[in-house]
Amino acid sequence: MNRRFEMKKVFVPLAEGFEEIEAMAVIDILRRAGIDVVTAGLQGSIVKSSRNVKVIADKKIDDIKEDFDAIVLPGGNPGYLNLMKSQKIMKMIKEFDSKNKIIGAICASPMILAKLGILDNKKATIYPGMEKELPKPRSEKVIVDGNVITSQGPGTAIDFALKIVEILEGKSKADAIKKEIVY
């Protein structure tokens, strides 16, 4: 089947300690854009955020088998550290990069991409104060370099999500969502 006309699919892994605004804003805005977003809990179906909000993920990480157009890594402490501890997530990120698929990372999660060497020749941004973790840090709220989209934190989550929509579905779709959410 021709994937060009199929609904885009984005994977959002949720690890214990994920940042609520970063995960939920992205999931909400992408779904508003008609993008199929699949969440998966690393430790199980119910995942506790950094502020003890319990979220029911669509799947468990071990049940993820489908093909995705993009992966988006929420930040949060210790969420980003727990993502980094998952060999399955690290392997998936490397596969996405090798296929030049979209990889989004917000808050402290760009550090994961740096540790994998994905940011060696790319500009990126990260949570303020963590710039030393990146090879080529920049101060903009959202940075796109090749297949990688990075953003700084909870306050930049809507801009980050809208940029992902723009890249996957086009500027007119991102502008329509902006209008819909009164942004």
Give the residue numbers annotated as catalytic, written as ranges: 107
Sheet holding 142-145, edge to edge: 59-60, 36-41, 9-14, 70-73, 102-106, 148-151, 142-145
* Segments in 16-170 forming alpha helices (H): 20-32, 79-85, 87-98, 110-115, 157-169
Measured distance CA(112)–CA(52) in Å, rounded: 23
CA dist 173 to 7, 92, 117, Å? 14, 28, 32
β strands within 107-174, DSSP E: 142-145, 148-151
> What's the alpha-carbon Rg for the chain, to the nearest Å?
15
Tokens of 161: 């999500």
Measured distance CA(87)–CA(63) in Å, rounded: 15
